[in-house]
Amino acid sequence: MKLTKYADLSFRLLMYLAMRRGEPATIQEVSDRFAVSKNHMVKISHQLTKAGLIDSTRGRNGGVCLARPAENITVEEVVRATENNFDLVECFDAAQNQCVISEVCKLNGILSAARNAFFEVLRQTSLADLVKNSKALEKCLLPLPCQNSGAEPD
């Protein structure tokens, strides 16, 4: 199983917001921070807002911030909000299943158990766990490079 770039960027945004400890960030700032399209980050922030993971405020002093404490956001919740298909094999989707051996195949049960174990680990990990005691992560994320150098942004 591989997470999409969309989910990956969602985690980056959420981790960045967690590191800011309640201080909002603009979408432009996040886009610049991770060198991604602002339009792409707008789509991600919209999805995370719909999922109740971030709050978004419009206007001059607007931005995005976590909707709940990082301790109360699980990695599973983020994955489920940003990915839409966890069918590892065709027979996981009864409506689309054309496999002639699915009635007797043991692979389905094994992969189902593996998927359940995967989600159990994600359920036990919070966003706070991802950013806990991580000076290296903080150094990478805060402040923005232009703030480090003392130079004014263009």
Domains of the chain, with CATH numbers? 5-83+127-146 (1.10.10.10)
CA distance 154 to 136: 27
Rounded to whole angstroms, how far apart are CA atoms 76 and 79?
Answer: 5
Task: Select the highest-mean-pLDDT range: 45-54, 59-68, 126-135.
Answer: 45-54
Cα–Cα dist 116/110, whole Å:
10
**What pLDDT sits at residue 143?**
60
Measured between alpha carbons, how far is residue 15 from residues 51, 75, 130 in Å? Answer: 16, 11, 7
How far is CA 151 from each of CA 3, 31, 51, 141, rounded to the nearest angstrom? 37, 19, 37, 17
pTM for the whole structure: 0.81
Quick: pLDDT tens for 73-98: 999 999 999 998 877 677 777 788 78
CA distance 85 to 105: 21
